[in-house]
Structure 1
Amino acid sequence: MTGVGVDKVKCQWVPAWLRLFLLVGIAIASGGCLDHMIADQVLKGPNGGQRSIVSRMLEDGKHVGLNYSCMLNDVDVVEVGPPIARMAYYTVEPKGKFYYVMTRMSRDLDEHAVRKQTVWLDRLGEKIDEEDGQPSDRPALIEHNYEFNAPVYGGEPQILVLGHPVVSVDERVAMEKEPIGTIILLQGLGGSVRENPYLWHLAGMLSNYGYRVVMPDMRGHGDSTGDEIGFGLYEAKDISQLIDDLERKGKVAGKLGIMGHSYGAMMSIYAAAYDKRIEAVLGISPHNWLRDFSGAATNIAKLFRPKVYGLIMTIGNEKTIPSAIEIAADRLGVDPDAHGPAAVISQTDAPLLLLHGDSDQICPFSASEQILAARPENSELLIFKTDDHWTHLYRRTLWQEVLSFMDHYLPESPMDREIDADRHVGAEDNPAWVMWQASLGG
């Protein structure tokens, strides 16, 4: 196996924002063109194009142990491209009422629960004592919880808890069911299935209702390789090659759907337009035209890297980031005013559902309106009032829309199921959340 140079390995651990900060400094010192340097970062894979440990181990035919065996059943890698990259993907098998999903305001979980990644829930059947594992009159202990702090701008951080009963791996395997359909689930820009698993709760919910969920890291993300991303130019074919690999390995059961959030929603639409094997597509908070991505990039910088944004504005001006997006589009060989989901959605007849918050500060809901207008037939847009780019992901009402859409199009016969409110506790079930939403007029 070809080794990775020491200098390159060291660079992989430098955060993207710090790389950009250093590049800005170099631009000042050398008189370089700042917008060209920002264009480099726009197209650069968020993980730095690294060859992850998972990918390298699979290339060598070594066993890869999963740290999250009660969530992720399997991991594999497929070669995609061109440009050539290796895509890692994870599979969640249907387990039938196995997972519990709960959204809580951070104040509702004590420090011990957050630190130890355990939480006590009620209404979950058998009660297990925390100390000796014996039946108790306390609420059931849920192990293997994954908690994600989601900033709510103007409100409080949310804790999303994904858990399951205390069972052995063998017991969990025995609970697996035959899939009624297969769903590819894509995270947003910079997402990593293992390290930034903010959509795991959707995978758990869909698993509860009989679906096999496949979660790939797109090129340049997480455990996948790839030096550059293509805003759909490369990714549509990548996902088609993923489907080829899934079919070769017998992992496509029933009809195939695809869904994603943000950048993943964009890629879902591109994939459905490219590959007619996809029979249903759902996009949560997608972006549309590449030129308008300058607004998203600006807002992301303002929210998460204000010092870097301030430095860019000090050296450049308000035209610097839009200019960088135009340079990136030119390198991809696309028209920034005509490259986006709205340009390709008419190439598929697959039913489309768009879910968008009307207060989205990253991808404005007008992007979904543009996509809907490009192909109104067999398409629907649902707007979540007062929700931003993330907050509707924590709503049981959104989970219900996802389930109802997939249930209508993927099983052999359409199904009409209500989400179990005891097992899936959304933000709107929390009085503190309701009060905060009311203060916003929601």
Structure 2
Amino acid sequence: MRTMGLVILFLAAGIVILLALVMATMRESIHPRRRATGWALGVGWPVDPAGVDCEFDEWILDRPGGVKLPVWDVTGHRSNGPVLILVHGFGRSRLTWLPHLEEWRDRASRVVMVDLRGHGDAEPDGVGLGDADVEDVVALVERVSATESTGNRIVVVGRSLGASTGILAASETEGIHGVVAVAPYETLAVPLANRIRLRGLPVFPVVPISILFMRLRGRRPRSARSAAARLRIPLLVVQGDADQISPWEDARAIADAASMGRFELVHDAGHGDHWDREPERLDAAVDELIDSLTPAESSAG
């Protein structure tokens, strides 16, 4: 009887620990630390495009349920260039793009930066991580298209979460004409499992249970590779071979699935330092995609 009691005690303790890990995983996934205006002020980061000497408009993308996604809208330097919609990664915000904003403006007629749900200055709290983010990007594309009188193409540039979301959104609307995906992942389970593994915690059964609970809360993991297979537009996938969050093999499979896919593997790059490693090669790849969507400027006379 005493042995049975100890077994039951250890089993109960194991269940409590498992539930605690699942709840902690879900909380961190749904409520990441925000990089918003307060964070920028605290670390001496620019708080908006004016901080990098750039004039801008700011507006709100209103979504169902009282969700408000703040947007920065900047005029580019290339009148016949595409509209670039920049979508940040998990735990980041539109602030991500400010240090290199001028380089994106050189490629575009217009640059649009958004805070995804639960990130930056978006309201209320709680990330999308699935259908909601995809629907938000599609809605953003429709809003931008409605205010475009030039007829210029729209290209989504995304990192990590933003990369996979951009691919998924492009598979659901004809309003996106090209995608640059930096460090995309196949499904939400991939980065979730790898982040847990890096902390030395058990992936199984924490991740499967966490994903199940997220599904019940309306956050359905979706396949970026399946979405890429439906694309009929240029897709550039940039990936580091030292990325411990998004495996390069998955990124290659995503690029290979697309009919107009291109894959650029950056040696020794992790999850976010691709341009630090090979800026010239990656700039050339991005420029090639953008140039393929940009009409030649007509010469006078």
TM-score, normalization: structure 2? Answer: 0.78
Aligned twin of 1:182: 83
Cα distance between partner residues in 2 of 1:368 and 1:333:
25
Give how far 1:36 is off: 3.6
Alignment of 1:17-416 (within 5 A): 31=16, 33-46=19-32, 67-68=50-51, 70-71=53-54, 73-80=56-63, 82-95=64-77, 178-194=79-95, 197=96, 199-250=97-148, 254-298=152-196, 302=198, 309=199, 313=201, 317-319=202-204, 321-332=206-217, 339-375=222-258, 377-394=259-276, 395-409=279-293, 411-413=294-296
Structure with more contact order per residue of length (Cα contacts < 8 Å, sep ≥ 6):
1
SS at match of 2:189: coil
Q: For structure 1, list consecutive stretches of 5 or more residues without a partner in the other structure.
A: 1-27, 54-63, 96-176, 303-308, 415-442
Give how far 1:84 is off: 4.2
Give how far 1:183 is off: 0.8
Give how far 1:252 is off: 7.0
Pick the structure with greater CA Rg. Answer: 1
Aligned twin of 1:57: none
Cα distance between partner residues in 1 of 2:273 and 2:22:
34
SS at match of 1:286: coil
Structure 1 residues 345, 318: CA separation in 2 closer, same or farther (over 3 Å shift)?
closer
- Answer with 395-404 or 358-367: which moved more: 395-404
Structure 1 residues 202, 397: CA separation in 2 closer, same or farther (over 3 Å shift)?
farther
CA contact (8 A) 1:282 1:352 kept: yes
| Structural RMSD (CA) | 3.1
CA contact (8 A) 1:262 1:285 kept: yes
Cα distance between partner residues in 2 of 1:293 and 1:400:
28
Aligned twin of 2:9: none
Q: Percent identity?
A: 21
Give how far 1:229 is off: 2.5
Cα distance between partner residues in 1 of 2:228 and 2:146:
27
Cα distance between partner residues in 2 of 1:259 and 1:292:
21
Choose between structure 1 and 2: higher helix proportion. Answer: 2
Give how far 1:45 is off: 3.9
Alignment length (residue pairs): 272
Structure 1 residues 66, 345: CA separation in 2 closer, same or farther (over 3 Å shift)?
closer
Structure 1 residues 280, 221: CA separation in 2 closer, same or farther (over 3 Å shift)?
same
Cα distance between partner residues in 2 of 1:277 and 1:318:
38
CA contact (8 A) 1:42 1:328 kept: no
CA contact (8 A) 2:26 2:210 kept: no
Cα distance between partner residues in 1 of 2:48 and 2:260:
42
Q: For structure 2, list consecutive stretches of 5 or more residues without a partner in the other structure.
A: 1-12, 39-46
TM-score, normalization: structure 1? Answer: 0.55
